[in-house]
Chain A
């Protein structure tokens, strides 16, 4: 005889977008459906360089599970990923490498800078450390912390999800986006 479920019974579900429902069909906004699909299936690329990478490992592990947000599959190839998570100190010599990885990603792509070193150089204000990855690639979300707790990384990830939801389908073809890419020297 089955015992009733005692734990995990207050799971939050994603609702379906509003639309006009009928017998066997539903009419809704295409952008809403695509955004819903995109935001719940982000495949991250962990560009883990130092200590923040360890916090990311904790985030991916079972206690602070990142897989519940749809990121069960992390890929290490930029060609197959949506989100570039830069975690750790990036040296000036690593800057062009990071830019190459970003350029290889296919649209739509987002970047999250995890930790103080990726956001602004952190405590390493020296001749060898790049003072923030936004000097080489455009960044969407910055997660401060040294290192940020896994909950903070998840919070940043949820903000990326909000951005993905609100983005729409035409952003990557817009002039403003093209200007942004020009300012970084990325074709």
Chain B
């Protein structure tokens, strides 16, 4: 009953042309929204009785170092329980001012997921009740999942460089 075309149609009716980049990789509808609208889109998808996307499955970020001006993408995966439809929507933000509105008021699960995204990518969620590091050591001052940070621990002194191919 609810199909990807119908969802796309309803969203474009409400938000006109602000939602761009409609794709369907592996059958999952994906679109991009400007970052100021992310809460409005989430609220619309939550409240609408036909669309009914009331489950935030995942909230993550991706770092694209080559996309100047839009390096960090915050990705939301939403799920409709009744019709078993999933959609994904992305919000791009600049790495110098990585502020995105927090979805905690709408979805409780966003609380921990946004803390994890902050911990690893440095995305500042505006309006989050307790935005501190969750999985890493509290004193860490860098964001490990950004592409510029090395995988290995740089403070080791006992590893022999030529044995490890460096």
Contact = CB atoms under 8 A, between A and B. Distances in A.
A128 interface: yes
Nearest to A94: B137
Contacts of B151: 125-127
Nearest to A128: B136
A126 B153 contact: yes
A177 B156 CA distance: 26
Contacts of B137: 92-93
A126 B152 contact: yes
> From DSSP, what is the main secondary structure of chain B's interface residues?
loop
Contacts of B159: 125
A131 interface: yes
B93 to A, nearest CB: 23
B26 interface: no
Contact residue range for chain B? 10 to 19
A148 to B, nearest CB: 21
A127 B144 contact: yes
B156 A131 contact: yes
Interface in B117-166: 135-137, 140, 144, 149, 151-153, 156, 159
A93 B156 contact: no
A127 B149 contact: yes
A125 B152 CA distance: 5
Most-contacted residue by chain B among A92, A93, A127 (CB, 10 A): A127
B153 A125 contact: yes
A21 B135 CA distance: 62
Interface of B: 135-137, 140, 144, 149, 151-153, 156, 159
Given A125-B153, A126-B153, A128-B135, 19 more contacts: A92-B136, A93-B135, A93-B136, A93-B137, A121-B153, A125-B151, A125-B152, A125-B156, A125-B159, A126-B151, A126-B152, A127-B136, A127-B140, A127-B144, A127-B151, A127-B153, A128-B136, A129-B153, A131-B153
Which are the 6 A-B pairs with shortest beta-carbon distances?
A125-B152, A127-B144, A92-B137, A93-B137, A126-B151, A131-B156
25 contacts: A92-B136, A92-B137, A93-B135, A93-B136, A93-B137, A121-B153, A125-B151, A125-B152, A125-B153, A125-B156, A125-B159, A126-B151, A126-B152, A127-B136, A127-B140, A127-B144, A127-B149, A127-B151, A127-B153, A128-B135, A128-B136, A128-B144, A129-B153, A131-B153, A131-B156
